[in-house]
């Protein structure tokens, strides 16, 4: 078989069909908006991501799958304007609230999905487009084309490396097989078939995560596994409790064996 004979899109769909986690709906993200914002707004991931960006103060940024503004809010201090797009209304409400609290007035929020017609919705081209940990889509090639079409200077994507944010040991502990699904290498090869030769950097987060309460840690782990049975819930609680240490009145630290890793895939137009 020759490289050019490989159908990376078909292989991506096949791997995606066997992953151990379900794609989250907008209603799922609506329910998690507030807690997700609290855990991610000051994440070490943000500083690592921004350190890799090549941006100018007069540029604009389109952040697709922006969530509660994890990147949009800190980026708004560095560029002329940010357009934050997400299909969860609650996530965008969190973003608006936090941007207002930070005194940031150069962020525009738009509720839209990858499958919407951005042209008809009037979403303009931007110098930079970003899709950070938001490419859980049915049509990856179409999403990549969209990001490329809506950027005039460069595109930045963050995709999973292996398990990404998921803890494989949790699935073993509750008695489930773990299949992470397709990761960044499929994205890179799909880009190659589109004639895009991307750069790749890697972001590795600390294996220890700090939470404000035991319940917050449990909720973070419940999010990884769908539709837990009563027995699985008990095993999950036991798994988290065995690794969770209280380090202060409102500080709990959980250590996992594998560090979350992400691939930062980017290219210039």
Please give the order of strands across the beta sheet that includes 244-248: 208-211, 251-255, 244-248
Please give the mean pLDDT across all residues of the chain. Answer: 91
Q: Could you give the dihedral angle defined by the CA atoms of residues 7, 8, 9 and 14, in that order, rounded to the nearest 10 degrees? A: 100
What are the sequence ranges of the domains in the chain?
3-207+259-268
Residue-level pLDDT at 180: 87
From residue 121, how far is each of 111, 112, 140 by CA, in Å? 10, 9, 21
- What's the pLDDT at 6? 87
pLDDT value of position 127 = 98
Confidence tier at 223 by pLDDT (50, 70, 90): confident
Structure tokens at 201: 């950097």
Give the residue with greater pLDDT, 28 vs 260: 260
**Residue 30 confidence (pLDDT):** 53
Task: Tokens 């951005």: give the residue.
Answer: 118
Q: What is the pLDDT of residues 153-172, one digit of tens each?
A: 999 999 999 999 999 999 99
The HSE-up count of residue 103 (CA atoms within 13 Å, CB side) is 1
Average pLDDT over residues 213-242: 93
Protein fold of 3-207+259-268: Rossmann fold (3.40.50)
| Ramachandran assignment for 175, one of left (phi > 0), alpha (psi -120 to 50 degrees), beta (any other) | left
Cβ burial, residue 82 (10 Å; 0-12/13-18/19+): buried
- Local confidence band at 176 (pLDDT 50, 70, 90 cut-offs): very high
pLDDT of residue 34: 58
Q: How confident is the model at residue 38 (pLDDT cuts 50, 70, 90)?
A: low
| Per-residue model confidence (pLDDT) at position 42 | 67
The 10s digit of each residue's pLDDT in 253-265 is 999 999 999 999 9
Does pLDDT of 23 surpass 70?
no
């Amino acid at each position: 078989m020759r490289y050019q004979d490989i159908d990376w899109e078909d292989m991506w769909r096949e791997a995606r069909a066997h992953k151990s986690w379900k794609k989250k709906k907008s209603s799922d993200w609506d329910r998690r908006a507030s807690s997700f914002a609290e855990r991610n707004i000051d994440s070490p991931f943000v500083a690592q991501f921004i350190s890799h960006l090549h941006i100018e103060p007069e540029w604009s940024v389109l952040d697709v799958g922006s969530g509660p503004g994890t990147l949009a809010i800190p980026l708004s201090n560095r560029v002329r304007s940010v357009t934050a797009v997400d299909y969860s209304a609650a996530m965008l409400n969190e973003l608006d609230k936090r941007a207002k609290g930070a005194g940031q007035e150069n962020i525009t929020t738009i509720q839209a999905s990858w499958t919407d017609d951005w042209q008809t919705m009037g979403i303009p081209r931007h110098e930079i487009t970003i899709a950070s940990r938001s490419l859980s889509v049915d049509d990856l090639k179409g999403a990549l084309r969209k990001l490329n079409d809506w950027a005039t200077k460069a595109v930045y994507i963050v995709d999973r490396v292996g398990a990404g944010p998921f803890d494989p040991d949790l699935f073993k502990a509750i008695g489930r097989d773990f299949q992470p699904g397709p990761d960044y290498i499929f994205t890179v090869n799909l880009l190659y078939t589109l004639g895009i030769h991307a750069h790749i950097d890697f972001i590795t987060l600390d294996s220890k995560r700090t939470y404000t309460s035991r319940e917050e840690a449990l909720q973070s782990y419940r999010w990884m596994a769908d539709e837990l049975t009563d027995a699985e819930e008990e095993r999950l609680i036991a798994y988290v409790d065995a690794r969770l240490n209280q380090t202060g009145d409102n500080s709990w630290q959980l250590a996992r064996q594998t560090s979350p890793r992400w691939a930062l895939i980017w290219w210039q137009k």
